[in-house]
Amino acid sequence: MGKKNKGKKGNPNKKQREKNKGRRNLDQIAWKTEFFKLSQQLRPFNLHIREITGDGNCLFRAISDQLTGEESAHEIYRNMAVEFMIENRPDFEPFIEDDKKFDEYIANMRKLSVWGGNLEIQALSLALAVNIKIHMLGQPIWEVRNHDDSVKTIHLSYHDGDHYNSVRLIGDDTHEPARSIPDVLRTVKSLEQATDETWNDAVEYASLILYEENKNLIKRVLIERFHEAPSIDAINEFHGSLINDVAQAKKFGFTREETKEEVKEPEPPKLQEKKSKKSLALGMKPAKLPSNNEKCWCGSNKKYKACCKASDSFRESEPEKIIEKLETLQI
């Protein structure tokens, strides 16, 4: 069965899952943030997340997508996991959680919409003769490895302690079984490509949490406030201000047809000077930043919160922080 304690870190018990589910329902921004950050983490390695229906069958749906290209076979894989555990009861019974009896656990797991976890992942790895890799935000890949490299490896993502999705190569958007993903994952994107994608992520995410479909407007608002592609954390921090920015942009008649190439009136000299100072300051941020009401470090004599705080939150762009190789932790 492997190391039970390690496995539990990535897959909480039922009570914890119910707690997480409730938190997700109450905090959609946190949920969207986690999803976008994990998507950003995977993209430089040529991977993307295929979203799976969240109805309690997500583990089995994600495995079905990996092996068949469709979610619809989830009940088959659920039953396969249950039957394998029954046939190999001595290997699974000691690991039943919450002081449940084995037969009670099995009877419950047969029901649709009951969440699968570590035991079901282990059972399906053995029953299907596959290795399983699970991607999580900010952690090494968790690998359930019961076989050598000659067998298929399927890739899942695990979100916020309560949901599984399917992970595929970018461009693998068919309804066929997932294409093989290289065993060693290294970056495949240049920094320039990654920066472009950071902008796309910023616009997509801001559009989502601001409930604004006009992405030209969103990008213009982000450029005016941040000057460079902001991180997701920066967008969250300035969420309220961005709502006002969008309202103001609409008030002054921004339209979908306007683009960044349109001719603009020259900026006042003082504003140009301010932007120039900020540009010169990029890359020179001090190790210790001032507090909100202290003078800004850029020399503008303004309070930090009214000056460079916004840009500091994304000054080191996320693509530059991305590691070049994803490590794997076997469990």
Active site residue 155: no
Active-site entry in 74, 135, 159, 163: 163
- Say if CB 40 and CB 161 are below 8 A apart: no
- H/E stretch holding 156: strand 153-159
Active site residue 163: yes
Q: How confident is the model at residue 179 (pLDDT cuts 50, 70, 90)?
A: very high
Model pLDDT, residue 174: 94
What distance in Å separates the CA atoms of residue 266 and residue 145, rounded to the nearest whole number? 61
Q: How far is CA 222 from CA 34, 227, 231, 238, 290, in A?
A: 20, 7, 11, 10, 24
What's the whole-model pTM score?
0.65
The answer on pLDDT for 68 being more than 90 is yes
Model pLDDT, residue 229: 86
Q: Looking at residues 160-179, what average pLDDT do you find?
A: 94
- Say if CB 156 and CB 43 are below 8 A apart: no
Of residues 331 and 285, which shows the higher confidence score? Answer: 331
Strands 153-159 and 131-135: parallel
Q: Looking at residues 310-331, what average pLDDT do you find?
A: 50
Active-site entry in 27, 55, 103, 173: 55
Q: Looking at residues 134-160, what average pLDDT do you find?
A: 94
Q: Looking at residues 240-254, what average pLDDT do you find?
A: 85
12-16, 165-169, 213-217, range with the lowest pLDDT: 12-16
Contacts of 289 (CB under 8 A, 6+ apart): 297, 304, 312
Alpha helices (H) in 188-268, listed in sequence order: 191-209, 215-226, 232-237, 239-251
Of residues 254 and 32, which shows the higher confidence score? Answer: 32
Active site residue 74: no
Q: Enumerate the domain spans of the chain.
A: 4-188, 191-312
Q: Which of 206, 193, 205 is nearest to 36 (CA)?
A: 205
Q: Looking at residues 240-249, what average pLDDT do you find?
A: 90
The answer on pLDDT for 86 being more than 80 is yes
CA dihedral 76, 82, 85, 86 (to 10 degrees): -120
What distance in Å separates the CA atoms of residue 310 and residue 73, rounded to the nearest whole number? 47
* Protein fold of 4-188: Cathepsin B; Chain A (3.90.70)
Please give the backbone phi and psi of residue 290, each rounded to the nearest 5 degrees, phi first: -70, 165
Cβ burial of 269 (10 Å; 0-12, 13-18, 19+) is: exposed
Of residues 225 and 297, which shows the higher confidence score? Answer: 225
Grouping H, G, I as helix, E, B as strand and the rest as coil, residue 250 is helix
Q: Per residue in 13-41, pLDDT tens?
A: 455 455 555 444 446 777 788 898 999 89
Q: Looking at residues 197-226, what average pLDDT do you find?
A: 88
Angle between helices 215-226 and 191-209 (to 10 degrees): 110
How high is the mean pLDDT of the chain?
Answer: 79
Model pLDDT, residue 303: 74
Q: Looking at residues 40-44, what average pLDDT do you find?
A: 89
- Say if CB 318 and CB 198 are below 8 A apart: yes
